[in-house]
């Protein structure tokens, strides 16, 4: 139990409940004895704080006769359609459900293609996170299980479509969805080759991927940039082993999200080209306004999620979408006077100097053909900023992300005030940097994770307080 117990007395608390004083009768007999508010919420059950009215008892509230209970033999269990007596298939009940819903909501127009696409996307990976069980039906493959049968692809305005994919992707575990056009500028951000595959933009109807070609159709004019989060508490304990659990945890979700997005867009009738390995994440994150460039180089800082954007992926599609713009929240300027990530990198991979146009950035191997020369360059040329030294970076120790003052994004009111101030002036930035140390933003002692209140260990590794941003 933490040290700052409240000073509300039992009497004050009981008064508030209207249970204090004489003559409260039966209430007095069942009311617990509290010494302070922490005890009100505390339970003796290994760190699980439950409400005071949840009492542990010796027997369940359900009446049970253990003399009558025996093990069930379920070898003869029929399928659900047989049990339900539905010769036309178990899921024919959907039609009845729609009628049921309409009785309660007479203005409801019935199932839409996007409703169906969302449901089918989840079904496609149901009970498995790494593979598609059954591909979601495209609109022309829809059967008559609902009021919509085979139909044309989903039609919406670009703004409606952006709203639709934001809602759907959130349900998949995505934190942000932004969009760039595929145009003269952003085509330059795609790699020219990846391994033996040449990346091309062609006048073809459908995406093609072969051993030597990754061909994006010219009708796919939008790049969706989506992100997922790395757990805040684990990240702040990087680079320890316990902290690094947040890294594979986040990427495990990435794989499933990839599949869900692919199946959802398929269900709407559109192409979904997973281009995560064919263009850089930070470049599209900056262009679409998820966040700003940082001293860390390949990691963005986001006003909402700080440095904890783990997965950043790109999906090229022909679904028309409203595009989003880059942002200025003063975060890149903050990096100019901060440099904490550089001092906390165990391997000296982060540049401590000023921003630069020099793309080699001290990486003299970059032009050395014996190690691949510019065919294995990690940094796109042409920007005035910082580059990570990939010869030194161990890739996923993540001490830099854990140390960044923005790592605790959303966790503190004062942090919001700081962010608002630095968005309009850099004058206080060096003061804020010191303050972040004073307020203990940044690294935390690894072992302390095991003693966190359970409500601070979020299910699936994603802090819901951050997801609502
Ligand atoms: S991941 Fe680790 S090695 Fe790489 S830049 Fe960050 S702190 Fe340095
Ligand atoms: S630690 Fe400081 S310099 Fe590094 S990315 Fe974060 S704000 Fe920028």
**Cross-strand partners of 388:** 350
The predicted-structure confidence for 98-149, as pLDDT tens digits, reads as follows 888 899 999 988 888 898 888 888 888 776 667 788 888 899 988 765 666 7
The C-alpha atoms of residue 426 and residue 437 are separated, in whole angstroms, by 18
Tell whether ligand 2 has an atom less than 6 A from the beta carbon of residue 405. yes
Which of 297, 348, 394 to probe ligand 1 with, by most ligand atoms within 8 A of CB? 394
A 10 A CB-CB count for 285 gives 28
Tell whether ligand 2 has an atom less than 6 A from the beta carbon of residue 334. yes
Question: Contact, 389 vs 363, CB < 8 A?
Answer: yes
How far, in Å, from the CA of 294 to the mean position of ligand 2? 6
Domain count, the chain: 2
> Residue 19 pLDDT more than 60?
no
Q: Same structural domain for residues 47 and 171?
A: no
Q: Same structural domain for residues 223 and 334?
A: yes
Q: Same structural domain for residues 49 and 171?
A: no
Number of residues written out for the chain: 469
Q: Same structural domain for residues 177 and 291?
A: yes
Residue 207 lies in a domain: yes
Residue 65 lies in a domain: no
Q: Which of 55, 70, 97 is the last residue of a domain?
A: 55
Q: Same structural domain for residues 39 and 158?
A: no
CA 379 to chain centre: 25
Q: Same structural domain for residues 190 and 304?
A: yes
Q: Which of 12, 27, 55 is the last residue of a domain?
A: 55
Residue 443 lies in a domain: yes
How far, in Å, from the CA of 337 to the mean position of ligand 2? 9
Residue 405 lies in a domain: yes
| Residue 355 pLDDT | 93
Q: Is the peptide bond before 371 cis (omega within 30 degrees of 0)?
A: no
Which of 239, 282, 299 to probe ligand 1 with, by most ligand atoms within 8 A of CB? 239
Q: Which atom of ligand 2 is least distant from the CA of 299?
A: 5
The whole domain housing 164 covers 154-350+388-467
Question: Contact, 317 vs 220, CB < 8 A?
Answer: yes
Which of 291, 301, 401 to probe ligand 2 with, by most ligand atoms within 8 A of CB? 301
Mean pLDDT of 4-9: 43
The predicted-structure confidence for 156-194, as pLDDT tens digits, reads as follows 999 999 999 999 999 998 999 999 999 999 999 999 888
Q: Which atom of ligand 2 is least distant from the CA of 400?
A: 1
Q: Same structural domain for residues 295 and 173?
A: yes
3-state secondary structure 379-426: CCCCCCECCECCCCCCCCCCHHHHHCHHHHCCCCHHHHHHHHHHHHCC
The reply to whether the predicted model has a pTM over 0.85 is no
Contacts of 300 (CB under 8 A, 6+ apart): 282, 285, 286, 290, 291, 292, 293, 294, 307, 309, 312
Question: What are the two backbone dihedrals, phi and then psi, of residue 229, each rounded to the nearest 5 degrees?
Answer: -100, 150
Residues 407, 408, 412: CA angle, nearest 5 degrees: 150
Q: Which of 55, 73, 95 is the last residue of a domain?
A: 55
The C-alpha atoms of residue 296 and residue 388 are separated, in whole angstroms, by 6
Residue 370 lies in a domain: no
Tell whether ligand 2 has an atom less than 6 A from the beta carbon of residue 34. no
Residue 88 lies in a domain: no
Residue 407 lies in a domain: yes
Residue 29 lies in a domain: yes
């Amino acid at each position: 139990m933490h040290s700052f117990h409240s000073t509300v007395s039992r009497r004050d608390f009981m008064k508030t409940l209207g249970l204090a004083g004489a003559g409260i009768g039966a209430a007095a007999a069942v009311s617990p004895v509290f010494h302070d508010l922490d005890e009100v919420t505390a339970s003796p059950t290994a760190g699980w704080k439950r409400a005071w009215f949840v009492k542990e008892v010796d027997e369940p509230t359900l009446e049970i006769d253990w003399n009558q209970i025996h093990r069930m033999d379920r070898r003869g269990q029929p399928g659900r359609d047989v049990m339900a007596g539905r010769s036309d298939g178990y899921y024919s009940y959907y039609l009845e459900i729609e009628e049921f819903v309409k009785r309660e909501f007479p203005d409801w127009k019935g199932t839409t293609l996007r409703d169906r696409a969302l449901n089918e996307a989840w079904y496609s990976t149901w009970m498995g996170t790494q593979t598609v069980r059954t591909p979601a039906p495209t609109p022309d493959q829809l059967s008559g299980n609902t009021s919509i049968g085979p139909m044309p692809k989903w039609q919406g305005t670009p703004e409606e479509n952006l709203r639709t994919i934001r809602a759907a992707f959130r349900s998949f575990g995505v934190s942000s969805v932004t969009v760039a056009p595929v145009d003269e500028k952003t085509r330059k951000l795609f790699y020219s080759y990846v391994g033996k595959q040449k990346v091309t933009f062609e006048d073809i109807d459908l995406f093609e991927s072969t051993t030597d070609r990754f061909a994006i159709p010219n009708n796919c004019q939008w790049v969706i940039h989506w992100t997922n989060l790395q757990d805040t508490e684990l990240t702040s304990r990087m680079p320890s082993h316990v902290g690094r659990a947040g890294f594979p945890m986040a990427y495990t979700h990435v794989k499933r999200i990839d599949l869900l997005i692919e199946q959802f867009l398929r269900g709407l009738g559109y192409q979904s080209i997973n281009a995560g390995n064919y263009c850089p994440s930070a470049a599209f994150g900056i262009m679409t306004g998820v966040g700003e460039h940082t001293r860390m180089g390949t990691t963005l800082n986001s006003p909402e999620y700080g440095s904890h954007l783990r997965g950043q992926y790109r999906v090229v599609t022909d679904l028309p979408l409203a595009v989003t713009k880059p942002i200025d929240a003063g975060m890149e300027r903050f990096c100019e006077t901060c440099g904490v990530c550089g001092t906390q990198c165990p391997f000296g991979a982060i540049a401590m100097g000023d921003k630069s146009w020099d793309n080699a950035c001290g990486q003299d191997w970059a032009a050395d053909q014996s190690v691949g020369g510019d065919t294995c360059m990690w940094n796109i040329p042409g920007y005035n900023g910082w580059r990570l030294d990939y010869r030194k970076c161990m890739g996923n120790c993540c001490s830099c992300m854990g140390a960044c003052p923005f790592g605790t994004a959303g966790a503190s009111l004062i942090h919001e005030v700081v962010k608002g101030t630095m968005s309009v002036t850099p004058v206080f930035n060096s003061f804020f940097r010191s303050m972040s140390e004073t307020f203990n933003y940044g690294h935390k002692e690894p072992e302390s994770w095991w003693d966190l209140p359970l409500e601070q260990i979020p299910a699936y590794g994603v802090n819901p307080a951050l997801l609502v941003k």
